[in-house]
Amino acid sequence: FPSSALRELDPNLYMFDPAYLSTAATKSEITYLDGANGILRYRGYPIEQLAEKSTYLEVAYLLIFGELPTTEQLANWRHDVTNHTFIHENMRKRFVDGFHYDAHPMGMFTSALAALGTFYDDAKLIEDPEARNHQILRLIAKSPTIAAMCYRFSVGLPFNVPENELSYPANFLNMMWKVGDYEVDPKLERAMDILFILHADHEQNCGTTAMRVIGSSHADPYSSAAGAAAALYGPRHGGANEAVIHMLNDIGSIDNVPAFVESVKRGEGRLMGFGHRVYKNYDPRAKIIKEAAYDVFETTGKSPLLDIALKLEEVALEDPYFVDRKLYPNVDFYSGLIYQALNFPVEMFTVLFAIPRMSGWLAHWQELLEQDQKISRPRQWYAGADTRDYVDIESRG
């Protein structure tokens, strides 16, 4: 039901829908999400097939251009992306080096995205398709470089430059961990790629909505992406995977799980990694991640927190509190355990989410511009004071 129909009836008639619980903010051809049945498809392709058969760069192409690439298109896309992986030296020397030594990597990453736009004359040329294409390539290519640079800065290690003969996930892992004769383990490279695929898009989530709202003002995409990343930083959104690990650490042992679940039911906190605004069923990404976790643990050894997570899931899925509210594990419940097994500190978890989500943000940004969408400008239900006369400060008591 288009809200414009309401406006035709009466220009002062608005839907009151805080947090957009019942509002479709746009028409989109990118991602299909059926929360009741736990279905997720990018451009019509089931997430399970993409996770099994595709690569992140191919999925990024699919999200942005709408179709799977031919062999030649994929080779060109890979070439173009890898040609943009380097960042201006001043970004590191003057910008990133200016942060406090213990700055949170996601805070650095978010600000670096906005700063990146200041390096390009064409950043504001969003109506020019060629310039737009450049922005897309730059943001997808440079996100892993910025992420690794922020991490290396936060632990006082020298920056590793991109190695463009490596795949997208291998290049990222290499920039993160390369010391001496480090080589990326192919199993871990594949796990990283799967995680990137699963996080690439998720229709109108909080971060993507931020991207679209800011993009609708025709701000440059670096600023819009910084806004989207800021939204993702929140513990109710992308920050939840970090919160899951803290929660599992606090629980400490499987014996403490029942008491913890009871405290959640008393409203003393949330079961992080559980529940979703749209999924009222098992998040399909959580299923794939849970399987991928076992593959990673074969190489890295099992996380001591896995047993606590499994027990928590078992207890919650049998408890009427969670069953009645349709609270199931979401993508964040197991992703943190894999990230931890891959050696990432918890502070990097949201950054690991933001790197692949960049392609989804950009696909939505491009769609919005192609739709020539008006500037986002919701109204409100004013509930404040009625008109009253100004009172001089001396007379206010």
Residues known to be catalytic:
276, 332
Considering the rule CB under 6 A, would residue 277 count as an interface residue with ligand ACO? yes
Considering the rule CB under 6 A, would residue 327 count as an interface residue with ligand ACO? yes
Burial (Cβ within 10 Å: 0-12, 13-18, ≥19) of residue 35: middle
C-beta of 246: minimal distance to ligand ACO in Å?
Answer: 12
Find the part of the chain contacting ligand ACO (CB under 6 A) among 88-96, 111-119, 270-278, 366-374.
270-278
Q: Nearest to ligand ACO by Cβ — which residue?
A: 275
Residue 235: half-sphere exposure toward Cβ, Cα within 13 Å: 12
By CB under 6 A, how many residues form the interface with ligand ACO? 18
User: Cβ closer to ligand ACO: 171 or 209?
Assistant: 209
Considering the rule CB under 6 A, would residue 325 count as an interface residue with ligand ACO? yes
Among 93, 94, 236, 246, binds ligand ACO (CB under 6 A): 236
What phi-psi label fits residue 38: left (phi over 0), alpha (psi between -120 and 50 degrees) or beta?
left
What one-character DSSP code corresponds to residue 123?
Answer: G
Considering the rule CB under 6 A, would residue 272 count as an interface residue with ligand ACO? yes
Among 237, 280, 287, 302, binds ligand ACO (CB under 6 A): 237
Read off the tokens for 91.
């970004």
Distance CA 49, CA 31 (A): 14
Considering the rule CB under 6 A, would residue 105 count as an interface residue with ligand ACO? no
C-beta of 7: minimal distance to ligand ACO in Å?
Answer: 28
User: Cβ closer to ligand ACO: 105 or 238?
Assistant: 238
Strand partners, 156: none
User: Cβ closer to ligand ACO: 260 or 365?
Assistant: 260
Considering the rule CB under 6 A, would residue 271 count as an interface residue with ligand ACO? yes
Binding mask 65-94 for ligand ACO (x = CB under 6 A): ------------------------------
Distance CA 140, CA 63 (A): 12
Burial (Cβ within 10 Å: 0-12, 13-18, ≥19) of residue 382: exposed
Among 38, 221, 275, 356, binds ligand ACO (CB under 6 A): 275
Which residues inside 329-348 make contact with ligand ACO, applying CB under 6 A?
A: 330-332
User: Cβ closer to ligand ACO: 324 or 394?
Assistant: 324
Find the part of the chain contacting ligand ACO (CB under 6 A) among 58-66, 164-172, 219-227, 263-271.
263-271
Considering the rule CB under 6 A, would residue 273 count as an interface residue with ligand ACO? yes
Burial (Cβ within 10 Å: 0-12, 13-18, ≥19) of residue 5: exposed
Distance CA 141, CA 138 (A): 5
Read off the tokens for 386.
């009625």
C-beta of 24: minimal distance to ligand ACO in Å?
Answer: 16
Q: Which helix (H) or strand (E) holds 13?
A: none
Distance CA 25, CA 99 (A): 37
**Pure H helices in the chain:** 3-9, 47-53, 56-65, 71-82, 89-90, 105-116, 129-154, 168-177, 186-199, 206-215, 221-232, 240-251, 257-265, 284-300, 306-318, 320-324, 331-341, 349-370
Considering the rule CB under 6 A, would residue 280 count as an interface residue with ligand ACO? no
Considering the rule CB under 6 A, would residue 242 count as an interface residue with ligand ACO? no
User: Cβ closer to ligand ACO: 135 or 359?
Assistant: 359
User: Cβ closer to ligand ACO: 10 or 324?
Assistant: 324
Contacts of 331 (CB under 8 A, 6+ apart): 198, 199, 241, 283, 285, 286, 289
Find the part of the chain contacting ligand ACO (CB under 6 A) among 4-12, 221-229, 234-242, 286-294.
234-242
Considering the rule CB under 6 A, would residue 351 count as an interface residue with ligand ACO? no
C-beta of 274: minimal distance to ligand ACO in Å?
Answer: 4
C-beta of 33: minimal distance to ligand ACO in Å?
Answer: 12
User: Cβ closer to ligand ACO: 187 or 325?
Assistant: 325
Contacts of 11 (CB under 8 A, 6+ apart): none
What one-character DSSP code corresponds to residue 376?
Answer: P
> Given the rule CB under 6 A, which residues bind ligand ACO?
236-238, 240, 264, 270-277, 325, 327, 330-332
